[in-house]
Amino acid sequence: MWRASIKHWGAGHTRRASSRHARPADRPVNTEAPQPQGSRPPLVAVVGATGTGKSALALDLIEALAASGRPAEVINADAMQLYRGMDIGTAKLPVRDRRGITHHLLDVLEPAQDASVAEYQREARATVERLQANGVIPVLTGGSGLYVSSVIQDFAFPARDHEVRARLEADLERLGTAGLHARLACLDPAAAAQVDPANGRRVVRALEVVELEGSFTPGLPEHRPPWQPAVVVGLRAARDVLVPRLDDRVRQMWADGLVAEVEALRPAGFGATAARAIGYSQAIAQLDGVMDESTAIAETSALTRRYARRQVSWFKRDQSTTWIEHDDPARVSVALSVVVGGG
């Protein structure tokens, strides 16, 4: 699915930053140390809660790296920015604002397609290795915690089979969630005890894995070794600063035409993943007359604040992350020194 979609990147793929586009870092940093011959460029990740300025820092960092002769490119790590046409509600940078820097894994899926973390992991890691082989630093940028972790940490996802899943989804329609959960309890009582009986998608996934692998273990291990050494830079903002920024962002989404964007995308359909995107499901409800605009905005704001809390909880578990305040005037030079120094 992804291989076919990636051929249609179009505007999501722009040229690499060069030193003539670069701006100096905020604070002087010794970036002139030669790299050993044959050394692999580091894998870098810029993470943090939504609204903290990850995209801007990534671009500033890449320009600073380019100024010291170290080419770098962005790899998107925002699950919803994978979708073509879902721009306003995902805060996707327009091409004109990407400063001529190449962005990978933007606009690679249609909204009707369902995203898979396992497929993202394969594509993102292949991109990382391809860039490193060409002497380019990959800068993984985004706030989807599981997507970031799937690349920088070493864990494997359970198998998938589209035919098995389609059969189980048909069973779900016919028997209901309770019926399938009862089946799961017979096949794997331990898994059934940990899967919400009301969550049909989770029950189907558990049954799919049980059928393919014999058992299902919900959740992810708390501690995982790295896939390869990575330099992780995190942006943070105090809650009393971040919340007004998020509320302003949501209001601006509606002012910028989110409802019209959703209306234009609806004829082609939204898959299960895209339809759950914060802001998009509320815009759909507004178009359907289920919500008025003020209610849609209020619900989107509340969900965005909740999502930001989950992001903070996810990313703070990685003790190797170097945290920088979102408004630190020296944030670019600090990030540059961490990357150049290898963490």
Structural domains counted in the chain: 3
265, part of any domain: yes
Q: Which two tokens stand for residue 305?
A: 């604040």
143, part of any domain: yes
Same domain, 61 and 135: yes
Q: Which two tokens stand for residue 300?
A: 């989107």
Give the span between the Cα atoms of 4 and 26, in whole angstroms. Answer: 42
What residues are paired with 140 via a beta bridge? 45, 75
Q: What is the model's pLDDT at position 65?
A: 98
Give alpha helix (H) positions in the chain: 2-6, 54-67, 117-133, 145-152, 162-187, 189-194, 200-213, 239-255, 258-265, 272-275, 280-287, 293-315, 331-340
Express each pLDDT in 274-333 by its tens digit: 998 999 999 999 999 999 999 999 999 999 999 999 999 999 999 999 999 999 999 999
Q: What stretches of 2-119 adopt beta strand conformation (E)?
A: 43-48, 72-76, 103-104
Indicate if the pLDDT at residue 11 is higher than 60: no
Same domain, 230 and 302: no
Give the span between the Cα atoms of 335 and 324, in whole angstroms. Answer: 8
Q: Locate tokens 């007004």: which residue?
A: 244
**Which CATH number belongs to the domain containing residue 287 in this structure?**
1.10.287.890
Same domain, 203 and 326: no
124, part of any domain: yes
218, part of any domain: no
Same domain, 19 and 149: yes
Confidence at 156, pLDDT banded by 50, 70, 90: confident
Same domain, 72 and 118: yes
**Which CATH number belongs to the domain containing residue 87 in this structure?**
3.40.50.300
219, part of any domain: no
Same domain, 284 and 189: no
> How many residues does the structure list for the chain?
343
In the 8-state DSSP scheme, what is residue 98?
A: S
DSSP structure string for 170-225: HHHHHHHHHHHHHHHHHH-HHHHHHS-TT-HHHHHHHHHHHHHHS----S--S---
Q: What is the model's pLDDT at position 299?
A: 98
Which domain covers residue 202, as residue numbers?
A: 162-213
Confidence at 343, pLDDT banded by 50, 70, 90: low
258, part of any domain: yes
Same domain, 13 and 104: yes
231, part of any domain: yes
SS3 323: strand
Same domain, 205 and 187: yes
**Which CATH number belongs to the domain containing residue 203 in this structure?**
1.10.20.140
Same domain, 47 and 141: yes
Closest CA to 184 of 159, 162, 209: 209
Same domain, 20 and 123: yes
Which amino acid type is present at position 206? A
Same domain, 331 and 279: no
Q: What is the model's pLDDT at position 157?
A: 76
Same domain, 16 and 86: yes
Give alpha helix (H) positions in 21-102: 54-67
221, part of any domain: no
